[in-house]
Amino acid sequence: MLTVSLNTIKLIAPHGLYPQEHVLGNTFEVDVDVNVPDEQPWPFVDYTLIHQVVVKVFHREGQLLETFVYNIHTALKELFPMALSVRVAVRKLNPPMSGSVGYSQVCYEK
């Protein structure tokens, strides 16, 4: 099996549950791993296409990290049907809550 990864894709977007997040925006990071069988002809996975999918999904309106993870995962599975599995992690850096929190994260792999 071969894994193609794109990590720490940084995006600033006006997504979140709270009204101030839609005004101030949040900083997000996305990690993607696409696992394909090594019997596939080269090239396996074009990571520039992974980046395009992530950016496109983040241009849509949304509030929940789970929605972004699901939409990225679904788009990548359609784009790379030979993938054995796709892992997507979306982090919101410094989420708006009391105390010091580095990030909140939702991850999905299938």
The string of pLDDT tens digits covering residues 87-105 is 999 999 988 888 999 999 9
Q: Name the pLDDT band for 40 (thresholds 50, 70, 90).
A: low
Per the structure, the complete domain to which residue 78 belongs is given by 2-109
Domain at 23, CATH number: 3.30.1130.10
| 5-26 mean pLDDT | 83
Q: How many folded domains does the chain comprise?
A: 1
Q: Hey, what's the torsion of the CAs at 3, 8, 13, 17, to 10 degrees?
A: 80
CA atoms of 89 and 32, how far apart (whole Å): 7
Single pTM value for the model: 0.91
CA atoms of 46 and 34, how far apart (whole Å): 10
